[in-house]
């Protein structure tokens, strides 16, 4: 049986010792362990950033309520970056130079986080753990101090493509947006489908499109066995609504950005049967670790609805607590980075097991297959890695 949050807190209290100073700053015995993150808490990306902030915070709030780490509190500071790279650099300077954080935990964004690497990773040697986002270039070769906890989009695309192939799809349409990040993921999916013997076509949609009628008309005309959706959640919902309006019953598959409460709210019954790969178990899953998350959310963020976004960052925070538990000695930026690669397998229960080494800073390549059934996402077999 997975450990409860209380048990994790007790274990941390028994195994951790006082921290010193290194990298982005340290603190003496009895002082808080300082962590920080940048998140879009305003602007168009706030719909993801706000629940992500809640997920990390409620884990550390629960940990602190259970006694903290060796009697010391964890002080996690989240600062709004409005999803802007230049603003994120200023946030990073504030967190490291003024707030003296020892690690960045649960930050958001690929381009925004990458903009901070020269200052955070190279100049100050402060580790970054569990960014929501990422690129293969971050981890091949691995960068000192940079550790990922989510399966990258390319691996997600392969897993979704393999699911469609396993279901017998021989003719597949990939519908994706036009920016380079979507093109890359779509190309990876197309290559995997072609490798599996499928006839593949692509429909490109300008990012921000709201009228999906011409694109669904194309799908209806070509009559594929399956459609692979590489779109943000609002556009994925618009696509599903138009598919229902035009009575196109082709099965659709998505990657993790299509998975969330927003899809269910915007598409409603039209989302039924939609299949996708997720970073975590569903937030409504009847699972002990997920139930712990729901209880923490209810206690420390009353009124918040369980969500894939907050569950993912909650899982990253829980994983980071296990890294801290493995440190024998001062807790500093340097000792944290060293501990990540020596902790061994990290089990959070809510996301796939994480493993790090000196040669691999990607924590996982696995995903969770989920399907919309009865108005909610349902786990279709637990954690699985692409073949």
CB burial readout 62-71, b (16+ within 10 A) else e: bbbebebbbe
> Please, what is the average pLDDT of the chain?
92
Provide the phi-psi class of 383: left if phi over 0, else alpha when psi is between -120 and 50, else beta: beta
Residue-level pLDDT at 34:
97
- pLDDT bucket at 362, cuts 50 / 70 / 90: very high
Does 322 score more than 60 pLDDT? yes
CA atoms within 13 A on the CB side of 227: 25
List, for residues 325-336, the tens digit of each pLDDT value.
888 888 999 999
Residue 89 DSSP label: H
Angle between helices 333-342 and 308-325 (to 10 degrees): 100
Distance (Å, whole) CA 102 – CA 70: 17
List, for residues 185-230, the tens digit of each pLDDT value.
999 999 999 999 999 999 999 999 999 999 999 999 999 999 999 9
Q: CB atoms < 10 A from the CB of 256, how many?
A: 23
Domains 5-151+283-356 and 153-278+369-384 agree in fold = yes
Lowest mean pLDDT among 18-22, 41-45, 191-195: 18-22
pTM: 0.89
Computed on alpha carbons and rounded to an integer, the radius of gyration of the chain in Å comes to 21
- Which strands, in side-by-side order, build the sheet including 275-278? 199-205, 171-177, 226-230, 251-254, 275-278, 367-373, 376-384
The verdict on domain 153-278+369-384 having CATH code 3.40.50.2300 is: yes
- The full set of domain ranges for the chain reads 5-151+283-356, 153-278+369-384
Residue-level pLDDT at 29:
57
CATH number of the domain located at residue range(s) 5-151+283-356 in this protein = 3.40.50.2300
């Amino acid at each position: 049986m997975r450990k409860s949050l209380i048990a994790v807190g007790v274990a941390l209290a028994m195994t951790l010792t006082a921290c010193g100073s290194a990298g982005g700053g340290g603190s003496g015995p009895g002082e808080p362990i300082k962590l920080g993150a940048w998140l879009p808490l305003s602007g168009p990306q706030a719909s993801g950033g706000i629940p992500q902030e809640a997920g990390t915070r409620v884990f550390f709030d629960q940990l602190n309520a259970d006694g903290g780490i060796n009697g010391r509190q964890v002080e996690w500071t989240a600062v709004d970056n409005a999803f802007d790279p230049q603003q994120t650099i200023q946030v990073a300077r504030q967190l490291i130079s003024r707030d003296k954080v020892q690690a960045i935990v649960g930050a958001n964004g690929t381009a925004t986080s990458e903009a901070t690497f020269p200052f955070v990773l190279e100049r100050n040697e402060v580790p970054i753990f569990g960014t929501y986002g990422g690129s293969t270039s971050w981890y091949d070769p691995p960068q000192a101090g940079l550790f990922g906890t989510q399966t990258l989009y390319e691996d997600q695309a392969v897993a979704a493509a393999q699911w469609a192939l396993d279901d017998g799809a021989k003719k597949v349409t990939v519908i994706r947006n036009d920016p380079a990040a979507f093109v890359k993921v779509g190309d990876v999916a197309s290559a995997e489908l072609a490798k599996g013997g499928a006839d593949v076509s692509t429909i490109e949609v300008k990012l921000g499109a709201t009228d999906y009628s011409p694109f669904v008309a194309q799908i209806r005309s070509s009559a594929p066995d399956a459609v692979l959706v590489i779109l943000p959640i609002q556009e994925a919902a618009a696509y599903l609504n138009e598919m229902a309006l035009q009575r196109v019953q082709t099965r659709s598959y998505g990657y993790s950005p299509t998975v969330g409460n927003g899809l269910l709210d915007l598409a409603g019954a039209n989302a039924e049967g939609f299949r996708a790969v997720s970073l975590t178990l569903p937030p409504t899953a009847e699972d002990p670790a997920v139930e712990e998350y729901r209880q923490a959310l209810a206690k420390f963020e009353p009124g918040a609805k369980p969500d894939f976004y907050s569950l993912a960052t909650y899982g990253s925070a829980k994983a980071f607590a296990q890294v801290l538990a493995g440190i024998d000695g001062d807790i500093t930026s340097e000792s944290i980075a060293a501990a990540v690669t020596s902790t061994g397998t990290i089990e959070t229960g809510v996301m796939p097991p994480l493993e790090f080494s000196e040669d691999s800073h990607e924590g996982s390549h696995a995903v969770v297959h989920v399907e919309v059934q009865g108005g909610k996402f349902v786990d279709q077999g637990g954690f699985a890695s692409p073949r």
